[in-house]
Amino acid sequence: MWGTAPVSEYEEIEQETPVWAIFGDLMAALVGIFVLLLVWTLGLQVELSRSLQDEVALREAEVQRRMALEEALADPLTSNRITLRDGRIGISGQLLFALNSADLQPEGQALIASLVAPLAVYLGQSDHLLMVSGFTDDLPIHSDNQAFADNWELSAQRALTVTRALVDAGLSRDLVFASAFAEQQPIAPNTDADSRALNRRVEIAPVPRTPRAEPAG
């Protein structure tokens, strides 16, 4: 009767060896992958830590610049000629303009000129532009007022007037632009004369500069 030839002890060892070799290679590969993951994780943590430190440093620098700006504007702030909230300088429309007018009054002209030096210092230390915004109350333009079609046009012209006054007083025209909000974004309810007077205002606010697109190619 035919039977299976006996396998020697040497042949058994020779057959089992490749299995242990493959297992060893697999373990080595797993250890290598684990090491790579560990190195990547540590590198990511270091990068995140650096990014967080940079962000904290930027925020601290911005806080210091705003504090310096507030100190430079101490006189008009103390005399209530301007307000300063969240870095936005607010100026009463009554101080700057007559009712339904976009012509800058002498007191407003002097105030705007006094703001140029501290604003220029602030902008020189940060990558910001100045947005000059005009606001009105909710009352429509009188029908006998031929200068402006509506509150949008009035607020736009007032913002432009202040923008030009800043430039005429020495601020670079590349650092400032005008915008108009009409009766939008009131800071007080338009329920009485005092509230409406608060809403008729001009605000000067720093805004981040938009990064320039790199030329293609």
Q: pLDDT band for position 55 (50/70/90)?
A: confident
Helices (H) and strands (E) in the chain, counts: 6, 5
Residue 138 · residue 82 · CB < 8 Å: no
In angstroms, the CA 74 to CA 58 distance is 24
Q: What is the pLDDT of residue 22?
A: 65
Angle between helices 151-168 and 106-124 (to 10 degrees): 70
pLDDT tens digits along 156-196: 999 999 999 999 999 999 999 999 999 999 999 999 999 99
Q: In this structure, which amino acid lies at residue 121?
A: V
pLDDT at 21 over 80: no
Q: Rounded mean pLDDT of 36-60?
A: 76
